A and B are shown apart, each in its own frame.
Chain A
Amino acid sequence: MSLVLHQFRYDQKAFWRNPASVFFTVGFPVILLLIFATVFGDQTVEVRGGIKTTTYYVPAIITLSVISATMQSLAMSLVIAREDGRLKRGRGTPMPPWVFIAGRIGNSIVVALLMLALIAAIGDLAYGVGFPWSRLPDILLSLLVGTAAFCCLGIALTAAIPSQDAAAPIVNALLLPLYFLSGVFIPDDQLPSGVIHFADAFPIRHFFESFFDAYVPGGAGVSWDNLAVVAIWGLVGAFLAIRYFRWTPRSG
C-alpha cells in the first residue's frame, strides 16, 4: 500500500507538470462550461419539467470531466508510457506491476474528485446552480461507479491503440460523438429519440443519467438501473484490460 502511495505521488507530480494533461482534463471542461453557459445561459431545457440551461450543463460537464480524468487520461498516459518503454522498464524492477496501474488510477480518482469540486463551485458561484448537499452520498456513489468503470475502460482501450500518435485520434473519435449523442453537449430535449436509443447502448449516456439524477433539483437520486449498466461496462472493461493489456511497446 505504501508503494502505491509512493507511485501515486510521482504520478501526481508528472500529471500537474504536463501542460497537455492539465489543459485537456482541467482547463477544457471549464472552458466548455463557460461557453455553454454564455451561449445558452438564459434558456430553459425541457427535462424534469423544465430547468435552467446552466442547471443542465453543470452535471453534464462534471460527467465529461470524470470521463476525461479517467478513461481519456488513462488511455493516453498509459499508451505513452508503454510506447516510451517505461512500463517495460518498470516491470524489470521488484515493484509488482499492479502498483503502477494503481498509482495511475489513484491519480484519476483524485483529479475526478477535484473536477467535481471545481465545476460544482463554478456552477454555484457563477450561475447559482446550488450543490445538492443532501444528496452527496448519491453523487459520490454515482461518481465511484463511474470512475471505476471508466478507468477499466480506459485501460482496456490501450490494447486497441497501436502508437502514441494514434492515442488522441482514437480516444476522441470514440468519446466526442458519444458526448453529443448522449446529451452531454446538446440537451436531451433537442435530441431525436432514435439518437437517445443509440446512445443507450454505451456507458456514457447511462453514467450521465445517473449523475444527472443525483445532481439536479427534483432528480430521482440514485438511479440503480443506469448505475448497473455502467458497472457492467466496467466489468467488461476490466476483463478486456486483464486479457489484452500489454506492457511492452508495440511500435519501434
Chain B
Amino acid sequence: MPDTVISIRGLRKSYGDAEAVRGIDLEVERGEVFAFLGPNGAGKTTTVEILEGYRKRSAGEVSVLGQDPERGDRRWRERIGIVLQSCRLDPYLTVRESLALYAGYYQAPRPIDETIELVGLAEKADARARSLSGGQQRRLDVGMALVGDPELLFLDEPTTGFDPSARRQAWETIAGLRELGKTVFLTTHYMDEAQRLADRVTIIAGGEIVARGTPEDLGDRESRPARISYREDGREVSLETTTPVRTLNELTGRALAEGRELEGLEVARPSLEDVYLELTGQL
C-alpha cells in the first residue's frame, strides 16, 4: 500500500482579488522526489508555503504527514525540514556552528559531522558562512534542514541563480537524499532540474496544474509529432509528422533513387523543454 506523505484536494489561495492557486490536487508518496515545476509567479511558492504552515489557504484540504499544516505543532515540525527560496544565514557563525545551532532545536538530530559530509562541506566545516560561495551557502542551508533528520524535506528553488558547477553539486546533494529514503518536495523553474532529480513531475502555470507524470512520459511526449529537417538545394526543409518511420522511408527512398544525400538530416522529438514551454504558455 502506498504511503501518502502529502495530499492536497481542491487547494485555493487568493490575495485580495487575485487568485494565486486555483484549485489544485496532488499527492506525494513516501520516499519519492517530487518536482513542482512552473514559471515564476505560477503559484509554486504559495503552495509550498501552505504545505510548510507559513500561509493559510483560502479553500481546500491539505494534509502533510497526516496533519493539517495550519495546526502543525512541535512534534510535526520535528518531522519536516525546510529550505526557503531565499535565506541568508548568520554570516558570523561557521558551518559547524550553524548546524549545531539548528541541531539543538530537535529532539533527535543527525550527527553534525555526518551532516557536514552529506552536504559536501567537510573542507569548509570551520569557515564562517560569510566566506562561503553562493552554492556552498545553499548546501549549508540544506544541511540545516537535514540536521533534524526529517522525513520530509521542502526545497524551494534550491539552485536559482547558480552557475553550472554549483548547480551540479547541489544536484548531487539532492540526489543523495533519495538514498537516505527522504521524501523531497522540490519546486523549480528549471525543466532540466526536474528531469534530472525527480521521480514524478507536476507542472503548474497560472495557479493550475497543466501536466503531471514521470520525466519520461511528461506531456505525452512520445505521441507528439516528430520533426524531420534537412537541406535541399541550399534550402532548409522542415516537416512535422506523426509517422516518422514512414515519412523518413519515403524521403530517403527518393533521395537514394536520385542518388543524392539529404544534407543535415535530423529527426527530433520535441524536447522536454519544448513541452514545458508549450504547456506553461511561454512559447
A binding-site residues for B, Cβ under 8 Å: 3, 6-7, 10, 13-14, 17-18, 81, 84-86, 88-96, 248, 252
Contacts and interface: CB of A to CB of B under 8 A. Distances in A.
Given A3-B105, A85-B84, A89-B87, A13 B93 contact: yes
Given A6-B104, A94-B74, A252 B148 contact: no
Pick from A7, A81, A92, A95 the residue with the most CB of B within 10 Å: A92
Contact of B54 (A13, A84, A88, A94): A88
28 contacts: A3-B105, A10-B100, A10-B101, A13-B97, A14-B90, A14-B92, A14-B93, A17-B128, A18-B92, A81-B90, A84-B88, A85-B88, A86-B87, A86-B88, A88-B54, A88-B84, A88-B87, A89-B87, A92-B53, A92-B54, A92-B80, A92-B84, A93-B82, A93-B105, A93-B148, A94-B75, A94-B77, A248-B54
B86 A3 contact: no
B47 to A, nearest CB: 16
Main secondary structure of the interface of A (DSSP, over half): helix
B151 interface: no
Contact of A252 (B53, B86, B92, B93): B86
B105 A17 contact: no
B77 A93 contact: yes
Interface in B79-127: 80, 82, 84, 86-90, 92-93, 97, 100-102, 104-107
Contact of B89 (A86, A92, A93): A86
B148 A94 contact: yes
B78 interface: yes
Contacts of B77: 92-94
B193 interface: no
Interface in B10-67: 52-54
A167 to B, nearest CB: 15
A159 B85 CA distance: 23
Given A7-B101, A94-B107, 8 more contacts: A3-B105, A85-B84, A85-B87, A92-B54, A92-B82, A93-B105, A94-B78, A95-B105
Contacts of B80: 92
Interface residues of B, number: 28
Contacts of B105: 3, 90, 93-95
Contacts of A94: 74-75, 77-78, 105-107, 148
Contacts of B88: 84-86
Nearest to A14: B92
A246 B82 CA distance: 19
A88 B148 CA distance: 17
Contact of A10 (B52, B54, B93, B144): B93
A90 B52 CA distance: 12
Contacts of A13: 92-93, 97
B11 to A, nearest CB: 20
A79 to B, nearest CB: 13
Nearest to A85: B87
Nearest to B82: A92
Contacts of A91: 54
A84 B105 CA distance: 20
A217 to B, nearest CB: 42
Contacts of A7: 101, 104
Contacts of A90: 105
Contacts of A14: 90, 92-93
B52 A92 contact: yes
Nearest to B80: A92
A10 B90 CA distance: 10
A13 to B, nearest CB: 6
Contacts of A6: 101, 104
B87 A17 contact: no
Contacts of A89: 82, 84, 87, 144
